[in-house]
Chain A
């Protein structure tokens, strides 16, 4: 028993060392901007950089667009499958697993070849079109997580009764979805939303190959061309991801107590 306990502590300590050191190292490096003295110069330089503000704003807006697109696509489908077409469930679930199977670089390669201006859907022909394509790409990447989040949310409520009740009061399908179902799975949707946000903020490959001014390519560019700012950026990015995950955990804990 004792040997096992010692062994466990040893393993745990090694793990802590391995995982904490890079974080400490990054913070330390980011404070070295001024020679010989620790300072927040790198952070100030990053936060004041107009490129930082623009690309971060772009990525935040894009993540909101992605979440909306994702909810619009997934929520009706999950609802419908649960209520009316349970036989479709394996097919739908298989499709939602595909983005985990196919590397994003392949998907964006397909986009570039398929949606240029000589095709039926010339999305890359305009800035807005490419932005939409980027959002579609992100929605595809986030599909597995969105679907699982919303499906879990639907599982927790009694979809059939709620729908029948609403319909008996004269609601049409859109009303049922928008005003009855969605508010009840709001927490689940929020979890999916924050996970999508974390994915979109850090994503590099799709944004770089589609040439959009997103946060990921900005970070890579900073990494090559600035000395200490990249470490500051990494700390900022990590804090944002941690905060998102923290919110998700908090929301998950709340649902446990508010389930009927």
Chain B
């Protein structure tokens, strides 16, 4: 039975690869093939984050023959990778076609053979340090780590990481997810490490964990996944998240309660998110269309509307392709000028320390 299964999946993988090579010639070909596939399965794309709601809507409008099946919007980067892995032999709607994961997860996915290469038509516009040379993954947008504060509950807004250790912030601070799975949480810890003077990489991972352990001991840390709802309802009045998320949430809550977005003093961490196509994607051509859409002007401006800086930002601004209102709404540029972009290796080293040692060093237990 096992050899038969292996044979079957081997043959279907071969068929998929040859199909990929054969049909990926022109955009029109891809579109025709994608329309025949008729569906696209995405994962971890909440509508309120990164303005994905509009980006997905514009994709659907462009390609009305493709139904978009959206899986778990709350998935973290590790959950997405696991979803590919768990659905290797599954061609049903549980198997994601495309993933949007943190930079550190790209090379790992490539190494595990979970993603397939595809270079979008505007490939050369994407800066070299945020894409894989062989085309397996490419960064589409980034932002910087900031604090979101519910000012109904927290009167003095913290301006730097070490402020959080003060007693005013008892039971107030949360990450946006499980540091063992969520890229945003792992990088928040990297940012904390940076604030302690460490270099990005293993040092930031250890120093960051140290900080979190102190935070936990001081009673400031709440082991809840912080999001707009929990900020507003009061379980997590202070959340460390990407500035674009915090700004969108602030808008969505519309002052009830008021949320202030603060980029902490000191080194500012920039986090890149990369797009990739699953090696076992049931709809590879629809996936390619989706990638083209994300990197097109329409897609990139969709991100900018969600307060992100995009991969092709500089090129598009220079060419005047970004509307002025969107540019004006973005966070102040000086924060971005001191942004630190950890390399893939540095992020990988940080991730290994954080997700491996979280339980030992911090392991947020049920408090008394």
A/B touching: CB–CB < 8 A: yes
Contact bitstring A192-224, B, C-beta under 8 A = 1, else 0? 000000000000000010110000000001111
What B residues does A127 contact at CB under 8 A? 69, 92-93
CB distance from B111 to the nearest CB of A (A): 23
Distance A222 CA – B87 CA, assembled complex (angstroms): 27
What B residues does A117 contact at CB under 8 A? 89-92
Partner of A124, one of B94, B229, B232: B94
Partner of B73, one of A34, A116, A130, A221: A221
Chain B residues proximal to chain A, CB less than 8 Å: 5, 9, 46, 48, 69, 71-74, 86-87, 89-94, 225, 227-230, 232-233, 253, 255-257
What A residues does B225 contact at CB under 8 A? 224
Closest to A29 in B: B233
Asked whether A116 and B87 contact (CB < 8 A) given A211-B94, A225-B228, A227-B229, the answer is: yes
Closest to A117 in B: B90
Distance A230 CA – B232 CA, assembled complex (angstroms): 11
Q: List 27 A-B contacts (CB under 8 A).
A: A33-B256, A112-B86, A116-B90, A117-B91, A125-B90, A125-B92, A126-B92, A127-B69, A127-B93, A129-B92, A130-B93, A211-B71, A211-B93, A211-B94, A221-B73, A224-B225, A224-B228, A224-B229, A224-B230, A226-B228, A226-B229, A226-B232, A227-B228, A227-B233, A227-B256, A230-B229, A230-B233
Chain A residues proximal to chain B, CB less than 8 Å: 33-35, 112, 116-118, 122, 124-127, 129-130, 208, 210-211, 221-228, 230
CB distance from B207 to the nearest CB of A (A): 29
What A residues does B233 contact at CB under 8 A? 227, 230
What A residues does B93 contact at CB under 8 A? 126-127, 130, 211
Q: Given A117-B89, A126-B93, A224-B229, 13 more contacts at CB 8 Å?
A: A33-B256, A124-B92, A124-B94, A130-B92, A221-B74, A223-B230, A224-B225, A225-B46, A225-B227, A225-B228, A226-B232, A227-B253, A227-B256
Partner of A223, one of B48, B69, B94, B229: B229
What A residues does B74 contact at CB under 8 A? 221, 224
What B residues does A228 contact at CB under 8 A? 232
Q: Say whether A222 contacts B229, CB under 8 Å.
A: yes
What B residues does A130 contact at CB under 8 A? 92-94
CB distance from A152 to the nearest CB of B (A): 39
Closest to B253 in A: A227
Partner of B89, one of A116, A208, A221, A224: A116
Distance A242 CA – B255 CA, assembled complex (angstroms): 34
What B residues does A223 contact at CB under 8 A? 229-230
Closest to A35 in B: B256
Across the A-B interface, give the 8 residue pairs with the lowest CB-CB distance, nearest first: A227-B232, A125-B92, A118-B89, A224-B227, A35-B256, A117-B90, A224-B229, A127-B93
Distance A35 CA – B91 CA, assembled complex (angstroms): 48
What B residues does A222 contact at CB under 8 A? 229
Q: Say whether A211 contacts B229, CB under 8 Å.
A: no
What A residues does B73 contact at CB under 8 A? 221
**Most-contacted residue by chain B among A34, A112, A122, A211 (CB, 10 A):** A211
